[in-house]
């Protein structure tokens, strides 16, 4: 029970609910997740088991989503879970206008997160402040949308557009829906959200709770190894004597092929994963331990 699960989060579950349910299924206390999903959203939720929870900070940060944006509706939470603030039926907007406006939402953006979100401001969660009716200025965040593709357009009183979005961590798709509606002058909110990729995990390979339960009953469940999850990081390999020193917290000779000052996954020459380090380039490259996963 050391490694990762590519879990399919179902609707009406919080990310915390998923962790709690997994603790019961796996009879394991030390479980964490790699990126919150709103209760109404579905899709990929990376799960770390046992020692692998220490590796969550090193997962690939980029994510991908499929989203449905509804125009003509504004809600408190920027999605259909919240109270409706305003509605504008018979929205007069064309696909061509939407397509042109969406170009503003690619690249590097300064984005104001929804006031109902898990971000902490002054030590308090925004959703807790919002539920108490407290008004607080939410600082903008720098995010990046790498790709935004229109999948389908449905006209009507409240037009809807399906989009595929590849983005950096910290990007709120609800904020994109809200801001698109603001720029168009129609109002907008998020109607549906599926996370299709996260931390290198894909929706196609995700496990539902039912599938996981069946694997556990059949004895076929195997956690995903760290080596399969950390492929975006450079790799250094150590011979046994150096590996032993490194796992004891000592600095050893580094790899000339690996860049300095970035996380490096470290392996024993037989392929065993040892942990995460970084290199310093002084007179010679030095490999410094940051996280020893498997003491020797």
Catalytic residues: 38
The Cα 33–Cα 186 span in angstroms is 36
What is the residue whose two structure tokens read 């590097």? 108
Sheet holding 273-281, edge to edge: 235-238, 263-268, 273-281, 285-292, 252-253
Which CA distances in Å does 211 have to 4, 134, 221? Answer: 15, 42, 10
The Cα 72–Cα 158 span in angstroms is 6
The Cα 62–Cα 44 span in angstroms is 12
Please say whether the beta carbons of 9 and 15 come within 8 A: yes
Please say whether the beta carbons of 283 and 254 come within 8 A: no
Question: Sign of dihedral through CA atoms 74, 80, 84, 87?
Answer: positive
**CA-based nearest residue to 58, from 32, 91, 96, 21:** 32
152: which strand partners? Answer: 162
Instruction: For residue 207, report the phi and psi dihedrals to the nearest 5 degrees.
Output: -110, 130
The contacts of residue 60 (CB under 8 Å, 6+ apart) are 199, 200, 232
The Cα 225–Cα 54 span in angstroms is 14
Please say whether the beta carbons of 178 and 90 come within 8 A: no
What's the Rg (C-alpha) of the chain? 22
């Amino acid at each position: 029970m050391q490694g990762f699960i590519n879990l399919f989060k179902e609707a009406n579950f919080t990310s915390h609910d998923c962790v709690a349910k997994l603790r019961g299924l796996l009879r394991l206390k030390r479980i964490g997740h790699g990126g919150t999903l709103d209760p109404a959203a579905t899709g990929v939720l990376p799960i770390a088991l046992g020692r692998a929870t220490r590796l969550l900070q090193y997962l690939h940060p980029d994510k991908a989503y499929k989203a449905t944006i509804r125009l003509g509706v504004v809600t408190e939470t920027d999605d259909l879970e919240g109270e409706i603030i305003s509605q504008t039926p018979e929205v007069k907007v064309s696909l061509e206008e939407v397509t042109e406006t969406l170009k503003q939402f690619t690249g590097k953006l300064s984005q104001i997160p929804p006031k109902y979100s898990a971000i902490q401001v002054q030590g308090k969660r925004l959703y807790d402040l919002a539920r108490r009716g407290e008004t607080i200025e939410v600082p903008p965040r720098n995010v990046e949308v790498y790709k935004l593709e229109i999948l389908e357009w449905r006209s009507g009183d409240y037009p809807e557009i399906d989009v595929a979005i590849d983005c950096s961590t910290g990007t709120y798709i609800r904020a994109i829906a809200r801001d698109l509606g603001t720029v168009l002058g129609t109002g907008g909110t998020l109607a549906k959200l599926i996370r299709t990729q996260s931390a290198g995990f894909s929706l196609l390979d995700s496990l539902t709770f039912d599938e996981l339960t069946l694997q556990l009953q059949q004895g076929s469940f195997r956690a995903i190894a760290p080596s399969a999850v950390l492929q975006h990081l450079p790799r250094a390999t150590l011979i046994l004597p150096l590996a032993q020193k490194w796992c004891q917290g000592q600095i050893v000779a580094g790899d000339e092929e690996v860049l300095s000052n970035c996380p490096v996954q470290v392996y024993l020459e037989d392929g065993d994963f040892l942990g995460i380090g970084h290199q310093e380039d002084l007179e010679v490259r030095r490999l410094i331990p940051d996280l020893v996963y498997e003491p020797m």
